[in-house]
Structure 1
Amino acid sequence: MAPKERTKPRAGFAAQLLHSRETGIVGALLIMVILLSIFAPDFASKGNLLNDARNLSFIGIVVLGQAMVMITGGIDLSVGSVWGLAAVASAAMMQAGMGVVPACALTLVICGVVGLFNGFCVTKLRMLPFVPTLATMSIARALALVITRGKAIDGFRPDGDAFFALGGGDIFDLPVPFIIFVVLAIIVAIVLKRTVYGRQLYAIGGNERAATLTGLNVDRLKMSVYVSSSVLAGLAGIIEVSYLSSAISNQGLGKELSVIAAAVIGGTALSGGEGTVIGVFVGTVILEVLRNGLVLLGTDAYWQGVFVGSVIVLAVFIDQLRKGVWRRR
């Protein structure tokens, strides 16, 4: 009689929790919140927390699109410039007399075209992702300068217009941008985890050649995530214009670094195939909590980039430890 095969026992809940990527970053966030609440009492005030929620929402919306690109193994360096282009384009069109809805819709279409161009270059022209997205980063910023001629665009809507509630309004004391971010995060989470489309994106990032051999339309899928990334960057620009009631050409300048940082801190792999919306959400919160905490602690603004960069390196290192990279060497 053949001996019974030993089945590997299922890991318990505690073990699964320990090896979860999100557990580490949630723990890091809790530690940061506790320490800041002790050393910077103003941090835990309701006003400051709500302000943080509003500020992180602009970057968070863009991170959702960037994470989808990174899951497929790509990267989008143009999101900061597309953000700025959307801000000035929407404001300029409204200043010219166009209605809010048509102006915002046309702005998102323009952003989608930028993303389509990025996706076309990556898929059909076989360029490395950083090449076309670096180019569109420069092109979009230049177009923003052409539109503004270096001047701010304001007075495009009358005072008290409903458009300004999109970025500056509150619902049940929660900032409207934060509510939009949460809703979009839920939608993206469902798409990535509960749909065939989401599983296909992970398959491409895990092994693009294998995904192609199984019959997936890799080019179409990759183009779709670049379009999504640009449209979400454009949406963030429009919402920020609503909040600031003005637009300038350098809006979103350098934000691509913060967006990528939030995604990496949240556990989205630069190599593709890994990443969750929960991780992206927490990574975005960590980035804003860190920035706000440094301000409240009186840290020189010039040093903030050093701390953010250090956190990115630490996050990647911890993720390597979790996956046992060092044990295999």
Structure 2
Amino acid sequence: MSRHATIPAPSRSWHDFLIEHAQVLSITVFFVLCCLLFSILSPFFLMPDNLLNVLRQMAPLLVTAVGMTFVITTGGIDLSVGSIVALTNAVCALALQAGLPWPLATVLVLILGGIVGLAQGWFVSYQKIPAFIVTLAGLSILRGIALLLTKGYSIPIDEPSAAPLLAIGRGWIFGFPIPAILAIVILAIGAFVLRETKYGRYVTAVGANAEAARRVGIPSARILTSVFVLTGITSALAGLLIAGRLGSGSSNAAEGFELDVIAAVVLGGTSLLGGTGTILGTVLGALTIGVIGNGLILVHTSPFLVQIVTGAIILLAIWLNTRIFGRLSAGRKG
């Protein structure tokens, strides 16, 4: 062998993999550490009943986070999801109280969510109003409509006529909560669509560069509108789950919900700048928020601290998103 022969450089595939999936890996590590911490601090944390309860309670957030992942992947944001949940939750209860069969009331609520998303998407896509402004206005308007419809009161749902809907929110199958099963199905569909379909690739392309996507023939405006429709429908489904679980509709439902949804999506590695989205990361982000909330309660911490921790996580996630991982990604591309 020649003395000048060189040893081939080791493969950088693992290095590239770690950089490419740094955000998902980081939230995975953080999620595991949170579970370990709370399992040490509370003997009740790892009990099956408690873990299943966390999944049941997180189901509405997980469902809504699927739609939010698509919106943020396009570079947008939807601040109105909590208000959509409240409106559809209240409308569902009012429709059932008025004597509508529960299947018809369910379809009505999902259509309402889609229409709200379509209206907001039209303003964002075709009128070029920033998504932040449009959905901030929607946050106020939709919550106000819910208050107007309910007069501020909780609307009870009659159990005999709406038993199947209540079962969707409260029921169990083979020892597993139905809301969690439904959330897993929606998450699987969302992951498949985002990663494996032409529509998912279009969503990512629009988020990466909307003008370039338009020039190569991608209907950017329609894609951008469609993701808000998707968020409206998933928020409406979350409203139905909450109505079924609580057995009532209320204009006060899901207050602050939008912060948890956005935090879950951003924590999971979906870029606020658009062009990158991951449903798996969203799941881990949502479960992390759920574990933190549940764990803090089990160790008898003030419930107000949960809001402080969630806010701090959002700030940290945004900082990591725009600084550290952005530079890592730029370095990899360079």
Q: TM-score, normalised by structure 1?
A: 0.93
Per-residue displacement from partner, 1:155-176 (whole Å, max 9, x unpaired)?
4332882221101011121111
Partner residue, 2:165: 163
Report whether the alignment pairs 1:321 with 2:334.
Answer: no
Partner residue, 2:4: none
Structure 1 portions without partners, runs of 5+:
1-6
The whole-number CA distance in structure 1 between the counterparts of 2:319 and 2:133 is 27
Q: How many residues are treated as equivalent by the alignment? A: 322
The whole-number CA distance in structure 2 between the counterparts of 1:52 and 1:287 is 10
The whole-number CA distance in structure 1 between the counterparts of 2:157 and 2:189 is 34
Choose the corresponding residue for 1:265, options 263, 267, 275: 267
The whole-number CA distance in structure 2 between the counterparts of 1:166 and 1:137 is 26
Shift of 1:15: 5.5
Partner residue, 2:218: 216
1:1-329 maps to which residues of 2 (within 5 A)? 10-13=11-14, 16-17=17-18, 19-20=20-21, 21-158=23-160, 161-319=163-321, 320-324=323-327
Shift of 1:269: 1.1
Cα 1:212–1:326, aligned 2, differ >3 Å: closer, same or farther? closer
SS in 2 for 1:30: helix
Partner residue, 2:3: none
The whole-number CA distance in structure 1 between the counterparts of 2:82 and 2:95 is 20
Cα 1:326–1:199, aligned 2, differ >3 Å: closer, same or farther? closer
Cα 1:44–1:18, aligned 2, differ >3 Å: closer, same or farther? farther
Q: Please report the RMSD computed on the Cα atoms of aligned residues, expressed in angstroms.
A: 2.0
SS in 2 for 1:77: coil
8 Å contact from structure 2 (residues 268, 281) kept in 1: yes
Partner residue, 1:3: none
The whole-number CA distance in structure 1 between the counterparts of 2:27 and 2:177 is 24
Per-residue displacement from partner, 1:104-140 (whole Å, max 9, x unpaired)?
1011111111101101101111100011211221121
Q: What is the one-letter code of the residue matched to 2:12?
A: A
The whole-number CA distance in structure 1 between the counterparts of 2:138 and 2:270 is 23
Shift of 1:10: 4.6
Shift of 1:9: 6.5
8 Å contact from structure 1 (residues 76, 129) kept in 2: yes
The whole-number CA distance in structure 1 between the counterparts of 2:71 and 2:9 is 36
The whole-number CA distance in structure 2 between the counterparts of 1:43 and 1:82 is 32
Structure 2 portions without partners, runs of 5+:
1-7
SS in 2 for 1:41: coil
The whole-number CA distance in structure 2 between the counterparts of 1:204 and 1:62 is 21
The whole-number CA distance in structure 1 between the counterparts of 2:329 and 2:156 is 54
Shift of 1:322: 3.6
Which segments of structure 1 move beyond 6 Å, counting only runs of 4 or more?
none
The whole-number CA distance in structure 2 between the counterparts of 1:45 and 1:214 is 53
SS in 2 for 1:267: coil
The whole-number CA distance in structure 1 between the counterparts of 2:11 and 2:114 is 45
Aligned sequence identity (%)? 35
Per-residue displacement from partner, 1:23-80 (whole Å, max 9, x unpaired)?
1111111111011101111111111111100011111111110110000011111100
